[in-house]
């Protein structure tokens, strides 16, 4: 019986979000092409906003894979962002690696962390898993603060100058393209079905032949890889890394807000959420307290009245109109 069910899972449709899943097949490549053609028309300010937007989309896509598709609500985003940033700085300073090579290696260092901690955190479920990942991020932050090898609370500085704003934009766009490809494969394949099966009922999935630990580990490793590369990019942009900034909870809060506002478990939800959050932050740049308060209010309203976020709300209205 297990093999029969597994075969059904293998041939089950893998579209996520109905219309959204189909639209993303052409929408995302067109978006990447448009972003690739845009730099000559963009000012340095616009390029800087574009870099931040692409970085947040990458982090949100990775978090959405874990929480939206896998039910693994992690508060440990900062763990992998920080590890990626510190790894890139160490590789460039000590080994003289070029940025283009150091970034994927930094992502692999985040994967290594995910593999090491997975036996412990996967023993936890639900809220306990969430708290466990938060504890991991805080433990790493305190470790870095108190370890002089990594610069302690002062951190480390890049030995060479980072690329200019246009170079950073191209790195971020390349990362976004890699993220889009990885997420498309992950969400439109048999793996997506298995991951959602584990999310809905891990024990039942095990009974029909699915290996929950392996499925969760693949999702965890992929998300960590993307987060680690995003952290490496942020560290490269700043030219310096320190524990409070790179391992700070603000990374987790920002990513969680983006996915919830855009639409958890929907393919283009993180993109819409990131655009909304970044645009609001720019409009209220002179009023940070107001921006924070409005973001919190919008989160409450979205959770209460639109659990699938803005994208889910738009889909519901579209279907209702038909």
Rounded mean pLDDT of the chain? 89
pLDDT per residue over 226-280, tens digit each?
999 999 999 999 999 999 999 999 999 999 999 999 999 898 999 999 999 999 9
Q: Is the pLDDT of residue 11 over 50?
A: no
What is the mean predicted confidence (pLDDT) over 10-35?
61
Supply the pLDDT for residue 317.
81
Supply the pLDDT for residue 194.
92
Residue 319 pLDDT grade (very low, low, confident, very high; cuts 50, 70, 90) = confident
For the entire predicted model, the pTM comes to 0.90
pLDDT per residue over 111-142, tens digit each?
999 999 999 999 998 899 999 999 999 999 99
What percentage of the chain has pLDDT greater than the value 90?
75
C-alpha 135, offset from chain centre: 19
Residue 284 pLDDT grade (very low, low, confident, very high; cuts 50, 70, 90) = very high
Query: Would you tell me the crossing angle of helices 250-262 and 269-283 to the nearest 10 degrees?
Result: 120
- Domain boundaries along the sequence of the chain: 17-248
Helix, strand, coil: what percent of the chain each, to 5?
80, 0, 20
Instruction: Mention every residue, 6+ apart, whose C-beta is less than 8 A from residue 221.
Output: 111, 114, 115
């Amino acid at each position: 019986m297990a093999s029969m069910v597994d075969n059904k899972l293998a041939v089950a449709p893998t579209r996520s979000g109905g219309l959204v899943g189909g639209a993303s097949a052409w929408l995302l490549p067109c978006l990447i092409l448009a972003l690739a053609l845009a730099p000559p028309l963009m000012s340095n300010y616009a390029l800087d906003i574009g870099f931040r937007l692409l970085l947040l989309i990458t982090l949100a896509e990775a978090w959405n894979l874990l929480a939206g598709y896998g039910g693994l609500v992690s508060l440990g985003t900062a763990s992998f962002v920080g590890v990626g940033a510190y790894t890139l700085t160490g590789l460039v300073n000590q080994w003289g690696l070029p940025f283009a090579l150091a970034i994927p290696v930094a992502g692999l260092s985040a994967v290594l962390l995910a593999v090491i901690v997975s036996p412990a955190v996967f023993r936890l479920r639900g809220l306990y898993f969430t708290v466990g990942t938060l504890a991991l991020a805080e433990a790493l932050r305190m470790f870095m603060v108190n370890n002089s090898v990594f610069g302690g609370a002062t951190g480390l500085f890049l030995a060479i100058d980072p690329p200019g704003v246009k170079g950073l934009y191209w790195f971020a766009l390349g990362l976004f393209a890699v993220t889009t490809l990885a997420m498309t494969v992950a969400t439109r394949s048999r793996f997506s079905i298995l991951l959602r099966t584990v999310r809905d009922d891990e024990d039942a999935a095990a009974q029909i032949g699915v290996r929950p630990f392996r499925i969760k580990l693949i999702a965890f490793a992929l998300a960590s890889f993307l987060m680690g590369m995003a952290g490496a990019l942020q560290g490269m942009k700043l030219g310096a890394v320190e524990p409070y900034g790179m391992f700070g909870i603000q990374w987790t809060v920002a990513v969680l807000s983006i996915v919830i506002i855009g639409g958890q478990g929907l393919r283009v939800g993180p993109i819409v959420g990131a655009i909304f959050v970044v645009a609001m932050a720019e409009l209220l740049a002179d009023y940070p307290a107001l921006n924070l308060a409005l973001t919190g209010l919008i989160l409450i309203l979205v959770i209460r009245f639109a659990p699938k976020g803005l994208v889910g709300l738009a889909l519901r209205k579209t279907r209702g109109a038909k």
